[in-house]
Amino acid sequence: MPKTIEELQSIALRIRREIVTMIGAAKSGHPGGSLSAVEILVELYFNHMHIDPQNPTDPDRDRFILSKGHAAPVLYAVMAEAGYRDTPKNELNTLRKLGSVYQGHPDKRFIPSLEASTGSLGEGLSMALGMGFAARLDKRSWRTYVMLGDGEIQEGQIWEAAMAGPFHKLDNVVAIVDSNRIQLDGFVKDIMAEEPLADKWRAFGWHTIELDGHDFAAIRAAFEEAERTKGKPTCLVAHTIKGKGVSFMENNPKFHGTAPTPDELKLALQELQ
Amino acid sequence: MTAKTKFAIKLGPATREAFGRVLVELGRENPDVVVCDADLSKSTMTTYFAHEFPDRFVSLGIAEANMVGVGAGLALAGKIAFVSSFSVFVMNKGFEQLRVCAAYPNVNLKVVGTHSGISIGEDGPSQMSVEEIGLACSLPGFVVIAPADEASTKALVRAAASHFGPVFIRTGRPKAPLVYGADRKFEIGKAEQLTDGADVTIVANGLLVAQALLAADTLDAEGISARVIDMHTVKPLDREAIARAAKETKAIVVAEEHLVDGGLGVRVAQAVAESAPCPMEFVGIRDTYAESGQPEELMDKYGLVARDVAAAARKVIGRKN
């Protein structure tokens, strides 16, 4: 039974609360790019992907790689909510503390259910292509999803991989660019010329879909369109709002990599009701 | 003491050629073996594999960083993934990916560098890899192997495929002198002692193994008995063989086609310092880049031939108290 949009929205709200709470407790971390990715991850983990959190080593599971690894809190909160045994919900607030499974960036050594260790930008798309190859070689139908940041794609390796995916016709791979338009030093447009972003992916041979990355219906439709697309991989350019859901974090470069103070956390949680 | 028979250079195939051939054998034996290459398959010799198993050969163009990442993805999905390029390219351009996608998560990726050292000859320093053993050894969890000849390359590539975890194998461009018979057994991390000796130990790998054997013969004629050890695995190092050599011969020469900074020599020195400290000398490239030339000319000019190994042995023996 697919989940209704209302159900997903209520999960997304809980995830947002977890994100700001755990980053507040850690006193460091990346709230902005975690909050911008919530709907996409919720749709993937609670509706779209063929996964069984109780059986995380199923060879036929769909794979997700968070290439923009600094958004680890959204992945941790979603996996904990989904019920993976190695992502206990009651430990989310140990984020970034010594001994925690919730490392600053996703680390397979601590959470074996993660599909890859990430954090150094630019590397997830290549690994996703490798996984796509493996599935095709084994004639299996599982699919690989990889989320990239719009700052991250300034890394040259992304474009090496962007060339390789369509060349090898890896239609079982979906890249999602979380286009929240802010990176560490400020607005993307002030740091590097990326536009026209969707045209770049199209020119590299990707079936490219632009969408509102906070609209569950649009996200669902895009993933379904990707699944129907044969002979080339799909890239979703998801227009999102950095810090989405917390008014003072929205579109605020400061909250790319700054934790809320206790007072800010209180305010954020009041808004996230 | 084994009876001394003079070592004579008999050229066999290049170690890259041996790698290319054994890769095909592995491909026939195991459908999970997949090979990635970055537009150098005709030089790395993965072309043999590509020819026989086109579906399991992944051409990634001149893009080493992506190749390493793709290889890691294949390995994460259960494949025995080999990625191959010239050592200088896969290690330097793929280093960050080797670190984050292979070493740190302990991914079952096999990295084979060809055209290592300065013996590639005419192409010159931009293509010569003289630092990659140091780089590979700095990646926690990586096994690092530098085989000497055809038989050891084939056996050690097989051993790498059976080992779970990241492995770097260093191979070369020119024909390599035959050191071993085809049926010799090799184990990762277990050095091969080629001659016994009491006065000095020469620890070598790659092309320097044959030079060490030639040097041992020269020294023998001078009444110096040299133990020659092929340290094909640089990491994990066979510390027992080193400690034994240090204790028994009390003088050690390390010879390698690599910068003396960060290569086999410093690792052996560390093991000696921690076991039975004794005088040591190092044959290798000294803080420089080489140049174009014929391989033999370059090995001679940069001090990587038997003459240099023997000189180092005499020197280190002279430093014994």
pLDDT at residue B226 tops 50: yes
- How would DSSP label each residue in B95-152? HHHIIIIIITTT--EEEEEESBBSTT-TT-GGG-BSSHHHHHHTSTT-EEE---SHHH
What average pLDDT score do residues B3-30 get? 93
Task: Write the pLDDT tens digit of every residue in B233-252.
Answer: 999 999 999 999 999 999 99
Instruction: Using the 3D structure, point to which of B152, B177, B202 is the last residue of a domain.
Output: B177
Considering only CB atoms, B69 lies closest to which of A109, A126, A168, namely: A126
CATH code for position B146: 3.40.50.970
Q: Report percent pLDDT > 70 for chain B.
A: 99
Does residue B143 share a domain with residue B245?
A: no
- Cβ distance B101 to A127 less than 8 Å, yes or no, reads yes
**Which residues in chain B have their CB less than 8 angstroms from residue A167's CB?**
61
Has residue B99 been placed in a domain?
Answer: yes
Task: Give me the active site residues of B, please.
Answer: 64
- Give the distance from CA B199 to its chain's centroid: 26
A156 touches chain B (CB under 8 A): yes
**Which residues in chain A have their CB less than 8 angstroms from residue B99's CB?**
120
Q: What is the CA radius of gyration of chain A?
A: 17
Quickly state the pLDDT bin for B1 (edges 50, 70, 90): very low
Instruction: Using the 3D structure, point to which of B123, B144, B177 is the last residue of a domain.
Output: B177
Does residue B167 share a domain with residue B99?
A: yes
Does residue B168 share a domain with residue B30?
A: yes
- Cβ distance A129 to B69 less than 8 Å, yes or no, reads yes
* A147: β partners: A66, A176
Does residue B146 share a domain with residue B45?
A: yes
- Give residues with Cβ within 8 angstroms of B8, minimum separation 6: none
Q: Are strands A144-149 and A173-179 parallel, antiparallel or unpaired?
A: parallel
Has residue B206 been placed in a domain?
Answer: yes
Does residue B171 share a domain with residue B259?
A: no
The CATH number, out of the four listed (3.40.50.2300, 3.40.980.10, 3.40.50.970, 1.10.1740.10), of the domain defined by the range A5-271:
3.40.50.970
From A123, which residue of chain B is nearest by alpha-carbon distance? B69
Has residue B115 been placed in a domain?
Answer: yes
Top residue of B32, B89, B100, B139 to mutate, by most chain A CBs within 10 Å, is: B100
Considering only CB atoms, A117 lies closest to which of B66, B96, B100, namely: B100
B34 touches chain A (CB under 8 A): yes
pLDDT at residue B185 tops 90: yes
From B79, which residue of chain A is nearest by alpha-carbon distance? A134
Does residue B225 share a domain with residue B129?
A: no
- Give residues with Cβ within 8 angstroms of B180, minimum separation 6: B148, B149, B151, B152, B192
- Domain limits for position B112: 13-177
Does residue B139 share a domain with residue B21?
A: yes
- Cβ distance A157 to B75 less than 8 Å, yes or no, reads no
- Cβ distance B76 to A130 less than 8 Å, yes or no, reads yes
What average pLDDT score do residues B181-198 get? 96
Does residue B38 share a domain with residue B155?
A: yes
Q: What is the ipTM of this complex?
A: 0.96
- Give residues with Cβ within 8 angstroms of A259, minimum separation 6: A23, A24, A26, A27, A28, A29, A31
Has residue B3 been placed in a domain?
Answer: no
Mean pLDDT of chain B: 97
From B70, which residue of chain A is nearest by alpha-carbon distance? A130
Instruction: Using the 3D structure, point to which of B150, B177, B204 is the last residue of a domain.
Output: B177
* B285: β partners: B259
B74 touches chain A (CB under 8 A): yes
**Which residues in chain A have their CB less than 8 angstroms from residue B82's CB?**
none
Has residue B8 been placed in a domain?
Answer: no
Does residue B216 share a domain with residue B72?
A: no
CATH code for position B213: 3.40.50.920
Query: How far apart, in whole angstroms, are the C-alpha atoms of residue A78 and residue A44?
Result: 10
Does residue B294 share a domain with residue B170?
A: no
Has residue B208 been placed in a domain?
Answer: yes
From B54, which residue of chain A is nearest by alpha-carbon distance? A137
From B107, which residue of chain A is nearest by alpha-carbon distance? A116
Does residue B198 share a domain with residue B159?
A: no
- Cβ distance B65 to A128 less than 8 Å, yes or no, reads no
B100 touches chain A (CB under 8 A): yes
Query: How far apart, in whole angstroms, are the C-alpha atoms of residue A254 and residue A248?
Result: 10
φ/ψ of B117, rounded to 5, equals 75, -165
pLDDT tens for each residue of chain A, 273 residues long: 789 999 999 999 999 999 999 999 999 999 999 999 999 999 999 999 999 999 999 999 999 999 999 999 999 999 999 999 999 999 999 999 999 999 999 999 999 999 999 999 999 999 999 999 999 999 999 999 999 999 999 999 999 999 999 999 999 999 999 999 999 999 999 999 999 999 999 999 999 999 999 999 999 999 999 999 999 999 999 999 999 999 999 999 999 999 999 999 999 999 999
pLDDT in the model for residue B4: 60
* Selection from B72, B77, B52 nearest residue B60 by Cα: B72
Top residue of A63, A107, A113, A127 to mutate, by most chain B CBs within 10 Å, is: A127
The CA distance from B96 to the nearest CA of chain A, in Å, is: 8
Residue A207 per-residue DSSP state: E
Domain boundaries, chain A: 5-271
Query: How far apart, in whole angstroms, are the C-alpha atoms of residue B228 and residue A10?
Result: 71
With 0-12 CB in 10 A as exposed, 13-18 as middle and 19+ as buried, what is A106?
buried
The CA distance from B74 to the nearest CA of chain A, in Å, is: 4
pLDDT in the model for residue A1: 73
- Give residues with Cβ within 8 angstroms of B42, minimum separation 6: none
Task: Write the pLDDT tens digit of every residue in B99-127.
Answer: 999 999 999 999 999 999 999 999 999 99
A135 and A142 in contact (C-beta within 8 Å)? Answer: yes
The CA distance from B31 to the nearest CA of chain A, in Å, is: 10
Has residue B281 been placed in a domain?
Answer: yes
- Give the distance from CA A41 to its chain's centroid: 6
The CA distance from B99 to the nearest CA of chain A, in Å, is: 10
- pTM of this structure: 0.97
Does residue B101 share a domain with residue B50?
A: yes
Has residue B4 been placed in a domain?
Answer: no
